[in-house]
Amino acid sequence: MNTFFALLHYFLFAVLVQSASISSPTNLSLMFREAVEQTKMLVEKILKDLPTVHAAAVTIEGLTLNPPSQTINLEMMAMSLGIPAAPVIKPLSERFTLDICVSRMLAGTRLYQGLLGVLSDKVDGLDDLKVDLRDLLLRISKMKEAAQLEGGDSLDQNSRLDLASRLPGNYEVQVAVHLTVSQLRSFCHDLIRSLRTIATYRP
């Protein structure tokens, strides 16, 4: 009987030690840095692929990604098509916490995933980008879990419906793709800058 209790005690002690090791600040910090690095690598891939995606999906002369189009008022077009701007991502501070930052990363990624979901039904060449954004959501979510963050991501669920109802013809579709890819590129640049900064964060 004494042997049984001794083995039971040893087993419970080993489980407690393993659990403490997994949730220790050191391991959480390592998990977070790995999640940040994986996310950054995917964002860099998306940035690299965007010019190819744009060239395949946008054929109207004057709508160029490099250099950016100057022939039309893109802000006015975005407003008329109901394409919202991505959530602003700022440097970390007491007011702009890591929780807020990661929540806005998620919200922005969901925004462009939704817009591309509408546009991919009307033009070819966007499916691979949709897959990348789906994977990006998963990786940012892993960052959130590794840092043990609790904030949610806010997003206007009507953005998909608004865009779908404002695309009567091919011209509007082409402009919407151009605006979405252009804004997504800016959002990805913001993500890269922010990811480089928060890589040093210690949960």
Residue 129: how many CA atoms within 13 Å on its side-chain side? 32
Radius of gyration of the chain (CA): 22
pLDDT digits (tens, 9 = 90+) for 79-109: 889 898 888 998 888 899 999 999 999 999 9
**Which residue range forms the structural domain that includes residue 62?**
26-200
| C-alpha–C-alpha distance, residues 203 and 26, integer Å | 9
Q: How many structural domains compose the chain?
A: 1
Is the per-residue pLDDT at 56 higher than 90?
yes
Give the predicted TM-score (pTM) of the model: 0.82
Q: Does residue 41 sit within a domain?
A: yes
Residues 6+ apart with CB under 8 A from 105: 89, 140, 143, 191, 194
Q: Does residue 194 sit within a domain?
A: yes
Please report, for residues 83, 167, 185, 202, the alpha-carbon distance to residue 122 in angstroms, rounded to integers and kept in the order given: 16, 9, 21, 44
Look up residue 43 and give its two tokens. Answer: 């964002």
Look up residue 174 and give its two tokens. Answer: 């082409």
Q: Does residue 100 sit within a domain?
A: yes
Task: Count CB atoms within 10 A of the CB of residue 115.
Answer: 28
Per-residue pLDDT band at 63 (split at 50, 70, 90): confident
For helices 74-81 and 170-198, what crossing angle results, to 10°? 100
| C-alpha–C-alpha distance, residues 33 and 26, integer Å | 11
Residue type, 198: I
Which pLDDT does position 75 carry in this prediction? Answer: 76
Q: Does residue 15 sit within a domain?
A: no
Which pLDDT does position 130 carry in this prediction? Answer: 96
In total, the chain counts a number of residues equal to 203
Angle at 110 between CA 104 and CA 111, to 5 degrees: 90
Burial-class residue 133 by CB neighbours within 10 Å (0-12, 13-18, 19+): buried
SS3 state at 61: coil
Q: Does residue 19 sit within a domain?
A: no
CATH number (domain holding residue 122): 1.20.1250.10
Q: DSSP letter at 156?
A: -
pLDDT digits (tens, 9 = 90+) for 138-161: 999 999 998 888 766 555 555 555
Q: Does residue 158 sit within a domain?
A: yes
Q: Does residue 122 sit within a domain?
A: yes
Which pLDDT does position 113 carry in this prediction? Answer: 94
Q: Does residue 40 sit within a domain?
A: yes
